[in-house]
Amino acid sequence: MAFAVEVHELRKAYGSRRAVDGVDFTVELGEIVALLGPNGAGKTTTVEMCAGFRRPDSGSVRVLGTEPFRAPATWKARIGVVTQQTTDLKELTVAQAVWAISGCYGTPRPAAEVIEAVGLTEQSDQRCELLSGGQRRRLEVALGILGSPELLFLDEPTTGFDPEARRMFWSLIEQLRADGTTILLTTHYLDEAEHLADRVGVIAAGRMLEINTPELIGGRAGALSAVSWVEDGHPHTEHTATPTELVRRLAARIDGEIVGLSIARPTLEDVYVRMINEVE
Ligand code: ATP
C-alpha cells in the first residue's frame, strides 16, 4: 500500500449546498499534507469524510486501505483526529482528562510525556474548563496524539495559539514526522503550511485547485521576482524571471554597493491569493 489517503471524485452536499464538489488527492505514507482554502471551502468536510465522521454522497475515500465510514475499531485505533469541536471534559483536570482518554487505547503514550509535548505541564492540575482558548486547543492536540496514531488528522490545530505555542507545535509535528506519522492538516496560516507540509492542497468552492509542493504551487518557481534598488537617488523596481541576470547588469553599471538592493520572490501567500481570486 503506497498511500495513506486516497480520495477520488469525493462529493458531499448539505441540502442544496455542495460543500465538497469532486475532490481528488492522495497522501503518501509518512507525508505531511496541508489543505488551504477560504472559510467554507470544504476543508473540514473533506477531513471529516477521511476520518469517517461523515459519509460521502459519492466518490471514494480510502484511508489506510479502508473505507472510513464503515471502518472497524481496529482501524480507528490507528488514526488520531483533532477536530474544531471541543471534547466534553467537564470538571476534569488536564492530567485526569489525558488519563481518562488513555483508557481508549491499548498502548497509549505516557500521559506526562504527551502533556509535556504540548507544553501543558504547568497546567496539569488545572481544570480543563479553566484553560485559555489556546491551552484548550493544545489539550485537544494532546488527546489526538495519545494513541501514537499512524495517521493524524488535524483540523486547524493551531488556531488561537500564541507564537511560542505555535513554534512548539511545529517541533511536535516534526518529531511525529521523524517517527513516520502521516499527517493531513488544515490551516489558515500559510507560514505554517510552508514550514510543515511536504505538499499543500488549495481548495476553493469544494474543489481542489492544485496540490503541489510549497515551492512549486501556483507556478511559484517560474513566477516573476521583484528586484528593487536605488540609483542616482531614485528608487527602481523591475519584475523579472531572471533576477540574477538583472543584478549582474546592475553590478556592472553601478560602482560599489547597490543601494537598497532587494529581490522579492512571490510568497506562498502571493500565489495563494492569486489562485483564490481567480476562482471568485
Ligand atoms: P473553515 O475554514 O471556515 O473551517 P472549511 O473549508 O472547513 O471552512 P467546511 O466547514 O467544510 O469548510 O464547510 C463547507 C460548506 O459547507 C460551508 O458553506 C458550510 O457553511 C457548509 N457546512 C458545513 N457543515 C455543515 C452542516 N453540518 N450543515 C450544513 N452546512 C454545513
Do residues 194 and 236 both lie within one domain?
Answer: no
Mean pLDDT calculated for residue range 22-40: 97
44 Cβ inside 6 Å of ligand 1: yes
What is the helix (H) or strand (E) element at residue 240, kind and residue range? Answer: strand 234-240
37 Cβ inside 6 Å of ligand 1: yes
Q: Which of 214, 141, 152 lies closest to 183, judged by CA?
A: 152
Mean pLDDT calculated for residue range 175-193: 94
Residue 196 CA to its chain's centroid (Å) = 7
Q: Does the pLDDT value for residue 30 go beyond 70?
A: yes
Q: Which of 155, 156, 182 lies closest to 47, judged by CA?
A: 155
What is the helix (H) or strand (E) element at residue 140, kind and residue range? Answer: helix 133-145
Nearest-10 Cα torsion for 72, 203, 43, 157? 110
Do residues 244 and 134 both lie within one domain?
Answer: no
> Hey, whose CA ends up nearest to atom 30 of ligand 1?
14
Mean pLDDT calculated for residue range 27-36: 97
What is the helix (H) or strand (E) element at residue 80, kind and residue range? Answer: strand 79-82
Please give the Cα distance from 204 to 40 (Å, whole number): 8
Q: Name which residue leads in pLDDT, 137 or 151.
A: 151
Q: What is the pLDDT of residue 10?
A: 97
Do residues 223 and 193 both lie within one domain?
Answer: no
Please give the Cα distance from 119 to 173 (Å, whole number): 13
Do residues 140 and 79 both lie within one domain?
Answer: yes
Do residues 113 and 176 both lie within one domain?
Answer: yes
Q: What is the pLDDT of residue 161?
A: 85
Domain boundary (159, 180, 215) is at 215
Give 232 Cα–ligand 1 centroid separation in angstroms.
Answer: 54
Do residues 206 and 245 both lie within one domain?
Answer: no
Do residues 125 and 263 both lie within one domain?
Answer: no
Please give the Cα distance from 176 to 170 (Å, whole number): 10
Do residues 12 and 116 both lie within one domain?
Answer: yes
Do residues 66 and 198 both lie within one domain?
Answer: yes
Q: What is the pLDDT of residue 106?
A: 80
Do residues 158 and 254 both lie within one domain?
Answer: no
> Hey, whose CA ends up nearest to atom 29 of ligand 1?
14
- Under DSSP, the state recorded for 65 is T
Q: Does the pLDDT value for residue 238 go beyond 60?
A: yes
Q: What is the pLDDT of residue 1?
A: 53
Structurally, the chain folds into a number of domains equal to 2
Give 204 Cα–ligand 1 centroid separation in angstroms.
Answer: 12
- What CATH number does residue 126 fall under? 3.40.50.300
Domain boundary (174, 194, 215) is at 215
Q: What is the share, in percent, of the chain residues with pLDDT greater than 70?
A: 100
Do residues 180 and 223 both lie within one domain?
Answer: no
Q: Does the pLDDT value for residue 205 go beyond 90?
A: yes
Give 46 Cα–ligand 1 centroid separation in angstroms.
Answer: 10
Crossing angle of helices 133-145 and 163-178, in 10° steps, is 10
User: pLDDT digits over 86-125, tens only?
Assistant: 778 778 999 999 998 888 888 889 999 999 988 899 999 9
45 Cβ inside 6 Å of ligand 1: yes
Q: Does the pLDDT value for residue 64 go beyond 90?
A: yes
Q: Name which residue leads in pLDDT, 280 or 201.
A: 201
Domain that holds residue 84: 3-215
Q: Which atom of ligand 1 is nearest to the CA of 206?
A: 14
DSSP alpha helix (H) spans, 146-232? 163-178, 190-196
Give 22 Cα–ligand 1 centroid separation in angstroms.
Answer: 15
Q: Does the pLDDT value for residue 133 go beyond 70?
A: yes
Q: Does the pLDDT value for residue 145 go beyond 60?
A: yes
Q: What is the share, in percent, of the chain residues with pLDDT greater than 90?
A: 75
What is the helix (H) or strand (E) element at residue 151, kind and residue range? Answer: strand 151-155
Give 229 Cα–ligand 1 centroid separation in angstroms.
Answer: 46
Q: What average pLDDT is seen over the chain? A: 93
Do residues 207 and 264 both lie within one domain?
Answer: no
Q: Which of 196, 200, 222 lies closest to 211, judged by CA?
A: 200
Domain boundary (215, 233, 257) is at 215
Q: What is the pLDDT of residue 127?
A: 93
